[in-house]
Structure formats: structure tokens, C-alpha cells
């Protein structure tokens, strides 16, 4: 059964930001996608995000996105929490995607407007317009390193008042900013770490879990980190964080999801290459990543 520990709405724990597997012809590999879904359920992930940054959503057609959402929902069959990325830098398009996907998933991940960066009032209006159009929980996605904009504290303070805006995926990497956002957390608004390298610090600020790239490789380890923390064994959680810190850093040596897909292919999972403009990993980034995988004795058996 799905774990919905946060007020019966969103799950505590480790939620994998799932890669999208492609075949040799760069088409979505649904057989592999099904294997990955089953593996994550069996390995103890608390949720799956599809069509996020790690899922290469910018290069997936609308038709394929809808098929991925419906396929994943069918295979998940309510056994694990399912979140679909439905954001856009076109608010009306984000509304359209969100309305389509809400029938299949448990929550929506909506990114800040990117490229055509807005002001604070535009940011507020963007999220409220999407939230007004749906009846599912929305997780706002703050990742200024990729979007060039940030959800200001004052905007977040207003947005959390909407009944459908239930969380923020905080991926700024700025602990000072995260600490300020933490003052807004309550029974109706929660925070997820969006950075694998600071999961324990984010949990200490009140985050209820992580939406993780790293979990694509070691889902059970990542899930155990969060569970150990919430069981009160913070030292054990910290030990896991530090043990895998070098691997985590290497997963972001080049633009995500280039390294994580390369890692999965190195482990024999055969998830295909990234779609252009993302390209195959460079030799200088690949060697230390693969060496660290070998050092940690990571295996993936689907």
C-alpha cells in the first residue's frame, strides 16, 4: 500500500526522480520502464516522479508524455505514490498538462517558469492559476540553477495558503534559503529535499523526504537513509549520506541525467542514451563515476 504519512496526502521518504529509458532508436522503452517501476517498488522507494528533469521531459513529445503517464499509472496500480511533472514556462500549457495528468497520478510536480523569467507577482499568479485548475496536490519545484529564477519567500508564504499547493521540492542548494522556507512548514505544507548531497541537513530542517536522482542507482539505500532518520537514528542516516557523498557529487559532474543514465548503462541496465541536446558522458566524468560505482560494489538486478 502507498505510504502517505504527511497528513494523508503526500509520502514521507525517498521518491525517485525516474529516468526515461530509450531503446536503440531513441524511442521510449516501455518494457524497460516497467522493469524499473517494479524494481523501485520492490526496493522500497516511497514514490516515483515521472517526466521531471531526470526524465528528460523537455525532449519528450506531448503524445509520448501522455502515454508514459497512463502506462506508469497502469503498472503502478496504486502500489506506490505517483507524481507527474506537469510544469511549463507557459502557464496555460502547464494548466493543460496538469488537467490531463491529474486523472492518473497522486500529485503534480510543477516547476517555476523558466527562460521567460517572471517577477514575484507573476510567479504567484502562475502557480495559483495551475492550482485553481486541478484537484490534486501540487508540489512546487524550485531549482534556480536550471531555471534562472527562484520562488521568493514572500511568494511561497502566499502560495502555501492554496488548498492544492501542499509542498515544495527545494533544490536551490542554499541552506540559508531552505531554512527560511522551513519556517513556513506546517500540517498542510511540507518540503522535500531536491538535492541528494544534503538530504540529512534538509531533514533536520523539517523536510519529509527527498526527490532523488541518486535513488535511480541505490533506491533501497536512499530509502533507508530517510527511514533511519525518522526512526531517530540520525547518526546512521548521516553515515549513509557521507558514504555515498562522492557518488552523489559525481552524478552531477555533468548535466543531469547524463551521468545517472551512463551509470545505469555501466551497470548493465541498458536504459539508452539521452536525447539531444544532452549527449553521452565525457571520458573525464565517466571514469571517476564508474570507479566509484565499483568501489561501492553497486549492483542493479531488475
Which residues are designated catalytic? 141, 169
Cα separation, 290 vs 302, whole angstroms = 19
CB atoms within 10 A of CB 70: 14
192 three-class SS: strand
Cα separation, 124 vs 157, whole angstroms = 10
CA end-to-end span of the chain, whole Å?
A: 21
Cα separation, 220 vs 43, whole angstroms = 5
Q: Could you list the beta-strand ranges (E) of 182-257.
A: 190-193, 209-212
Q: How far is CA 297 from CA 129, 214, 237, 252, 300, in A?
A: 47, 15, 19, 20, 10
**C-alpha grid cell, residue 249:** 557529487
Cα separation, 239 vs 183, whole angstroms = 27
> How do strand 81-85 and strand 190-193 relate by DSSP bridges?
unpaired
Express the helix, strand and coil content of the chain in percent, nearest 5 each: 45, 15, 40
Helices (H) and strands (E) in the chain, counts: 13, 8
Amino acid at each position: 500500500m502507498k505510504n502517505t504519512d504527511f497528513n494523508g496526502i503526500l509520502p514521507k521518504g525517498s521518491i525517485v526522480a525516474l529516468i526515461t529509458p530509450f531503446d536503440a532508436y531513441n524511442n521510449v522503452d516501455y518494457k524497460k520502464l516497467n522493469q524499473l517501476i517494479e524494481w523501485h517498488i520492490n526496493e522500497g522507494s516511497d514514490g516515483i516522479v515521472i517526466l521531471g528533469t531526470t526524465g528528460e521531459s523537455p525532449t519528450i513529445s506531448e503524445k509520448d508524455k501522455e502515454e508514459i503517464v497512463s502506462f506508469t499509472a497502469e503498472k503502478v496500480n496504486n502500489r506506490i505514490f505517483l507524481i507527474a511533472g506537469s510544469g511549463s514556462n507557459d502557464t496555460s500549457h502547464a494548466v493543460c498538462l496538469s488537467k490531463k495528468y491529474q486523472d492518473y497520478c497522486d500529485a503534480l510536480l510543477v516547476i517555476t517558469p523558466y527562460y521567460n523569467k517572471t517577477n514575484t507577482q507573476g510567479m504567484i499568479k502562475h502557480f495559483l492559476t495551475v492550482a485553481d485548475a486541478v484537484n490534486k496536490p501540487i508540489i512546487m519545484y524550485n531549482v534556480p540553477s536550471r531555471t534562472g529564477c527562484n520562488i521568493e519567500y514572500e511568494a511561497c508564504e502566499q502560495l502555501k495558503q492554496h488548498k492544492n499547493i501542499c509542498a515544495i521540492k527545494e533544490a536551490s542548494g542554499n541552506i540559508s534559503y531552505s531554512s527560511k522556507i522551513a519556517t513556513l512548514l506546517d500540517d498542510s505544507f511540507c518540503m522535500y529535499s531536491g538535492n541528494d548531497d544534503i538530504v540529512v541537513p534538509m531533514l533536520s530542517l523539517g523536510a519529509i523526504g527527498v526527490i532523488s536522482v541518486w535513488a535511480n542507482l541505490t533506491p533501497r539505500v536512499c530509502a533507508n537513509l530517510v527511514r533511519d532518520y525518522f526512526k531517530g537514528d540520525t547518526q546512521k542516516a548521516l553515515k549513509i549520506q557521507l558514504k555515498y557523498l562522492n557518488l552523489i557529487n559525481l552524478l552531477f559532474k555533468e548535466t543531469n541525467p547524463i551521468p545517472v543514465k551512463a551509470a545505469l548503462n555501466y551497470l548493465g541496465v541498458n536504459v539508452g542514451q539521452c536525447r539531444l541536446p544532452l549527449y553521452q558522458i565525457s571520458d573525464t566524468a565517466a571514469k571517476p563515476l564508474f570507479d566509484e560505482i565499483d568501489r561501492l560494489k553497486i549492483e542493479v538486478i531488475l
